[in-house]
Amino acid sequence: MAELKQFNTPGRDPNWCPGCGDYGIWNAFKRALVTINIEPKDIVIATGIGCGSKINHWVNTYGFHGLHGRLIPIAQGIKLTNTDLTVIAVGGDGDGYSEGGNHFLNGVRKNINMTYFIQNNQIYGLTKGQTSPTSDEETKTKSTPEGSHDSPIHGLSTAIINGATFVARGFAGDMNHLIKLMGLAIQHKGFAFVEILQPCVTFNKVNTYDWYKQRVYYLQKEKHNSKDKIAAIGRGMEWGDKIPLGILYQEEKTLYENLHSEIKENPLVKQDILNIDISSIFEDYM
């Protein structure tokens, strides 16, 4: 049975700003892993660049800290190489929707059995407060002193439209709900995507904990049909006075890795490659 202390990193504590939503996500993440009983040795966390992308420094599992926006291909490469591993990608809204936007769009199309958590604080925190792809229009920052003229990205609806088979939203200010949601996402068989509302107490003075608590509501309490794709897309577009939390969409679909005979029965990492001759391939290119 997995225990919380197994995921702790004694002597190495996070250095986020006091009150940052990343602390709630970090604690919920570790507790979710305990709840669904996965051992640290069986987990790989892939991250990009940003405040939240440092999370694998402080969770005692295997990890790969990649380039800005490149965490999805890293995670998918790890999963396709060793399908026995539980692979989880964690990054911010800037990392996932801006630099990593192309990987996000194409990553969800492949129903690879992995989980992707985006921590959405609607700002670039690590680089000191510029607008991100999820910043509301007219948001004033160092990079947009007259207010942002860009429409914000609706990541949940985008994920549903492009083929993600589990799409949900959590909130760093509701630990119990987030623990359960993260656990369900990790256990889902297919590409699971969860956007987590993560207040940035230093650079975003609008989307605070109180601001969210006045607006969030729970889809499952309203008996939302998570199998209705069109309804789920509509829920993903809701923002402002009402912000939905919970599972927007979920479906069962054949895993990408089960469609490829090379890895369907045996992961690449366990295959014998000593007697493979690739000389004929080289000859084709000579």
The residue ranges of every structural domain in the chain are: 4-284
pTM beyond 0.85: the answer is yes
Average pLDDT in the chain: 93
- Supply 217's token pair: 């509501």
CB-CB contact of 165 with 252 (8 Å): yes
Per-residue pLDDT, 100: 86
Query: Which residues, other chains included, contact 89 with Cβ-Cβ below 8 Å and sequence gap of 6+?
Result: 45, 46, 47, 71, 72, 74, 75, 114, 115, 116, 117
Rounded Cα gap, residues 32 and 201, in angstroms: 24
pLDDT at 76 over 90: yes
- Residue 286 pLDDT more than 80? no
| Amino acid identity at 154 | H
Tens digit of pLDDT for each residue in 9-58?
988 889 999 999 999 999 999 999 999 999 999 999 999 988 888 899 99
Q: What are phi and psi of 117, to 5 degrees?
A: -105, 120
Looking at residue 8, its pLDDT comes to 94
Start-end of H helices in the chain: 4-7, 21-35, 71-81, 93-94, 101-107, 155-161, 175-187, 209-213, 229-237, 261-264, 279-284
**Assigned CATH class of 4-284:** alpha beta
pLDDT confidence of residue 141: 86
Report phi then psi at 166, rounded to 5: -145, 120
Beta pairing class for 43-47 and 86-92: parallel
